[in-house]
Amino acid sequence: MKEMIPKKGRVILHVDMNSFYASVEMSYDPSLKGKPLAIAGDAEERRGIIVTCSYEARKFGVKTTMPLWEAKKLCPQLIIRKPNFERYRAVSIKIFEILRQYSDLVEPVSIDEGYMDITDSDKLGTPVEIARTIQKRLLEQLDLPCSIGIAPNKFLAKMASDMKKPLGITILRKRDVPNILWPLDVGQMHGVGKKTAEKLAKIGIRTIGDLAKANEIQLKNLLGINGARLKERANGNDWRPVDPDSVSDFKSVGNSTTLPKDITNQQVLFQVLDGLAEKVAARLKRKKVLAANIAITIRYKDRKTITRSKKLSNPVSQKDEISQAAKTLFLKHWNGEPVRLLGITGTDLQERGRAVKQLDLFSYEQEAKKEPLIHALEKLREKYGEHIIKNADAKADIDIKSKIGTDTSFNKDFLQTFAIGGKNKKE
């Protein structure tokens, strides 16, 4: 494996599930295999759009984002299934549990694809052997096909995974870029959409090779800072690391830690969870949100990783509440084996001012006692302004910012919050 790693270089995999939603439906209902299948909106509505479809359907010209009526015209025997997003999320969790057994550096980018840095996984085999093992396990254990790109950076790995579908494994080295990538139409390049391709065509850039050799100043004038970035990509350069905690738009807040040694002592593990809960609580307060769902991640000595979550009756932001929920989950799902990594994530975030407590018989009396004070505060704010009185959390926000800065990153946890409606991408 070390032979194909340049000095100070990396080995990156891009794992992309093939026709994910359709493949999941086929795994649940084997009678659908080999048939033209589409996942789409209401079959009775002409406005329904194809979310994804099987490769059998694609042979008839059916495509993602195509109107349902048009797809049926091309393929009258097309089978339609409504999306089952809870099912897809559950399967996605299992996929990433498998991937994390081969590297600690796994970066999900959507519900059905992610990057892996396997540079330090050489004891598990060569890059191709690792890719084949992952592909085989996903197919045998989950009945799901995937394509995998192997490259020295994320951009080339993504381009490589698109080259052979379904069930492809493709190696793309930087020295291969001129012969393999440059002849391709610029619209086939990851990061170049239809509108960008049209803009580039107006200045004579029609292939990836044209983009690689283009004038950088001209590109900046046309596309801004993205122009220079795309030129770098076209030349095979991409310095982005595989970051499990990368900034994303998915609304979750979490922290994890790899333990200095594998631990089985429950008291010590609880202390680790307390520390993680404190960090999550600080970030929730800084963002002025509460979490209605708490998830924990447990990675064992053998790299097996599980993620389990619990919907809470009331949204939380306090350390003790988060810690208690995490410990309850941990005790329920820990198998007693040595633990390598622990993580806590708060999801289903709600703005602090809009969060509504669901009062039960035990909390009603306590909450009712606060009502006179709440009404008094509301009257003061109405008369003198919103900021005349602030609660302790607001004070905590100021203290936290002064100590740890204004970091606003959300840890990625699309598995809980992936936007309904899927993604429009080539699968």
Could you give the 3-state DSSP secondary structure of residue 141? helix
Rounded distance, CA 112 to CA 20, Å? 7
CA contacts within 13 A on the Cβ side of 23: 19
For residue 53, the cross-strand partners are 38
Return d(Cα 345, Cα 266) in angstroms, integer: 20
One of 113, 198, 367, 386 is an active-site residue; which one? 113
DSSP strand pairing (37-40 vs 146-151):
unpaired
Q: Please, what is the Cα angle at 359 between 276 and 416, to 5 degrees?
A: 40
d(CA 315, CA 386): 23
d(CA 15, CA 52): 18
Q: Which SS3 state, helix, strand or coil, does residue 397 take?
A: helix
Residue 3 C-beta-side C-alpha neighbours within 13 Å: 3
Annotated binding-site residue? 245:
no
Cα gap 295→302, rounded to integer Å: 21
Contact 192, 212 (CB under 8 A): no
Encoding tokens for residue 307? 């993620």
16 is in an annotated binding site: yes
232: annotated active-site residue: no
| Distance of alpha carbon 116 from alpha carbon 121, whole angstroms | 10
Q: How far apart are CA 90 and CA 84, in angstroms?
A: 10
Q: Return the H-helix or E-strand segment holding 161.
A: helix 154-161
Residue appearing with tokens 């992936």 = 418
- Which residues belong to the annotated binding site for Mg(2+)? 16, 112
Active-site residue numbers? 113
